[in-house]
Amino acid sequence: MSFARIMTPLLRRVRMVLPMALGVGVLVYLSTNGGDVLFRFAGISVSQEALTAAGEMVFRLLSIAAISILFSLLVPMAHVVSGLRSLRVPAGLIAVAWLTERFLALLSGDARRMLDGVRARSGRLPFPRRILLAARLSLTFLIRSVDRSERMADALTARGFTGHVPLAPGVKWTRSDSIITLLSVLLITLTVAL
């Protein structure tokens, strides 16, 4: 894959993680007791220690998300399953990873369709109304996700799924998959350690 073909989906997916990372950053900021007050704004003291802790947390979360997303874009799931089998990982864990990847692909399609509907209906809404609409949609999306997971579990059970992930013949873990995996693990370790 070329660099440009990877960067577009990578940035699109990282953009989806950004609000969650910023939310965690705000929580870290609020829970950090700082000493040196840089300035006060609307009754809130902004300290250097709290800003630093929040910034580091947001950076770490975004880095880990970007590395994980990049790994998922570069290594096909069939190769991951093949590699995990070679490492003698229990079949149940492999099935969970495989089903999670498939389920997330389905949910991302649902989320895209819901967002398209919102954009079509709420183009001229004021900002506070859009925030309220987003909160309602989040709840609706959560309920739909749980419902879809239950239907998916029933369908898999009805079809006799035993926890063994089907693979096309000839799928093998390659040297490039190993290099990408080692680099991903190394980058995540460095991000967490720093």
Per-residue model confidence as pLDDT tens digits over 11-43: 888 887 888 888 888 888 888 776 777 777 777
How many CA within 13 A on the CB side of residue 194?
13
CB contact set of 43 (below 8 Å; sequence gap of 6+)? none
Question: CA nearest 48: which of 58, 59, 36, 39?
Answer: 36
Contact 82, 173 (CB under 8 A): yes
Query: pTM for the complete prediction?
Result: 0.63
Structural domain boundaries of the chain? 1-74, 77-173
Cβ–Cβ contacts within 10 Å for residue 29, how many?
21
- For residue 191, name the pLDDT band (cuts at 50, 70, 90): confident
DSSP E strand boundaries for the chain = 37-41, 44-47
